[in-house]
Chains A and B, each alone.
Chain A
Amino acid sequence: MDQFILQILNGLDKGSAYALIALGLTLIFGTLGVVNFAHGALFMLGAFVAVTLSNVLTLSHKVVDETRTDFLGNPMQVDVPYVHDWFGVTAGNAIIDWAVPLAILVAIPIMVLIGFAMERGLIKHFYKRPHADQILVTFGLAIVIQEIVKYFYGANPIPTPAPDAFVGSFDFGVAFGFDPNAIIYPYWRLVYFFFAITIIGAVFAFLQFTTFGMVVRAGMADRETVGILGIDIDRRFTIMFGIAAAVAGLAGVMYAPISSPNYHMGMDFLVLSFVVVVVGGMGSLPGAVAAGFLLGILESFASIPAVIDLLPGINQVIIYLVAIIILLTRPRGLMGRKGVMEE
């Protein structure tokens, strides 16, 4: 039972990341009709916003410490962060410690701007081109973004820890009457899950309860008619691209403490996220979210040693196996709409 609960928690956590990325992908596909293979790169850029802010907050000047020597035997030059000079050591360390949560505030405008730039600068020129062209150009863009990040940050993962307050694990075992250590789960992963739920809820509420959202939904259903009514749907769709970029970016910022960011992390998520979108149903936002959590949970269960012993290799293929089964039985995915990608 405890293993079951633990893997459900794990699945929800994995599913959170899948759902957030798939949500953005579906938003872009649903509004602009573009299959955006650069979406994983936006997730990665979000994580690197956290890395960059952390680097900025630890910007230092050198102070020579005569009492110590460096590896060459010269007097050691110690880095002293400017925030220590400005705010004192205690307050300075607290600011550095909270770099990742602070990065959320920075990431929103940055990612929206990057989204605008991507859409206006490149992707809008491919609206009327075949999907294959869109995939090629966005995939190429993803590689360019990756290589730029690698040029500046290197290929190694960069540790970006969560604030000290969230280091450690919550013992569900003690809290809910199981044995101690039976179900422990890291605080930051719990934070990630609730953060994802909040973002997903906010996006749905925005689309459901605002006039802007209503117009966007109308545009997703029938772009031509909305245009004839005199509404500049293109401008709204550009804004939605920015919002989708921000969602992917925020997913990346919060993911940085879970897995040290590296330039390739977007690609690692991209393929899985596309499977999530297809399983959920192309163009269906609730489908993307539901499929994200479903596949996350299934992937977690497939990684249990007893399951691997029973079906060797199942952990590596489970997502694709489920995708095949769902697409064979429900060709439009779990919640796919008729007519999407079927012209």
Chain B
Amino acid sequence: MSESTDTNGQRPDAAADRPQGREVAIELRGINKSFGPVRANKNIDLKVEKGTVHGIVGENGAGKSTLMSILYGFYTADSGEIFVNGQKVTITDSKHALELGIGMVHQHFMLVEPFTILENIILGAEDSAILETSIARARAELKRLAEDYSLTVDPDAVVGDVSVGQQQRVEILKALYRGADILILDEPTGVLTPAEADHLFRILEQLREQGKTIILITHKLREIMAITDNVSVMRQGEIVSTVRTADTSPDKLAEAMVGRHVLLRVEKDKANPGDIRLEVNNLTVKDDLGVPRVKDVSLTVRAGEIVGIAGVAGNGQSELLEAISGMREPVLGEIKISGNPVTFHGDDGAARLRRAGLAHVPEDRQRLGLVTAFEEWENSILGYQDDDRYGKGLQLDIKAAREEAVRRIEKFDIRPTNPRLKTANFSGGNQQKIVLAREMDRDLEVLIVGQPTRGVDIGAIEFIHNQIIAMRDEGKAILLVSVELDEIRSLSDRILVMFDGHIIAEVAEGEADERTLGLYMAGVNEPAAAE
């Protein structure tokens, strides 16, 4: 995929070797980690200087969190070496990492919500079997830490009741209380408001002044530029570049981060948009925890066009798709299919939208789109099981469903060709084709597609892309969400960029280059100004 075209032309080691004079707090050599067949980290080499803020930037799924979990002893690397302050170590578990002075602030806080802040701080670092003494010491220590690093919290507040910004401070305090000198922060601003994020950065600066080493994992370039001394870019499990932040720029990083994939050009004619088929007005959607993920989003998709939504994963695309497909009730706003507003009540919204003519290829086929324990033909009717063609009344017409599955297996070139095979035994690409075949091979007005080619091999990608284009040419309205910028660019007739729940930019086909889009995706509203 990558043609080793790092924009700065540096090999990772060259940059890592550069720091002179400064002591090295952490050094990783040749770290590898796989989860089953997925290689999350490939031959990672990394040096982090003492007393600096070192950024690790990359898209979701690039392997940043896995790498840090290895450093923190939560996972064990399959191979490779770790040096802490020049000493070779084998970090067996998190306790050991803490003893070495490594503390971690996880993306999802590791806090016990019904506990007070003090209880959370001493948990696992109690002085004795009786809590009172630990609590007294922690209270005094908290006061000191608050003064040193402007980390003020109410020690007796219950964690579940305080803001996420406060909760994050508790996480940092937990690490400091345990004597951490090296602090890893995993996507620390993902859950913070801009003001809270600014406060966090001030705290980090103070920590650095006091000689602490900080590793900051993020996908937001603004943060990298604002706070870090050095930055490493990760892509698909590898570190592709390590440079001084002062020597780089957001656009260089954006390009390194997104990578320059082999562009699979898709042959397509100019779009010929017709009537509005999907209309979304002022939609606001909250996630399961009540956090707003989609904020006042409006968009339209016309018959015969593909509208692509670009963005780094986790910026509200998933919740947007869930709302439009009827799976999640929005808190505000309306959705119209072919001019008819959709009503939400009960837990079968997705069926109502299907009846209105919407088909949905979900982002995560294994979690949502398939019952992997089912046979192939059974998944071929998921969501449409109540259609009359699969039997009238109660009975399921297995014969009809299987015949149709066989037809689709042929039409979409699904392999193996056995509809009685358990779905879990199909490869990722073929599983995706099962979903696509089911959703596309029918009468529909609007098709919404999330990550159509995630985890799919090259041959299947081309096939899937051509199918989507063919749907467009038949006059269907298509909304495409993908974190693969190339895919968005090669398929879309219009591109919307989503960041932090908002649509922050709209560009027509061919009007934006990769770099500009990359900057939008990183939350830079005015690409020109960032030059």
Query: Do A and B belong to a common assembly?
Result: no
Which B residues are within 8 Å of any A CB, using their own CB?
Answer: none
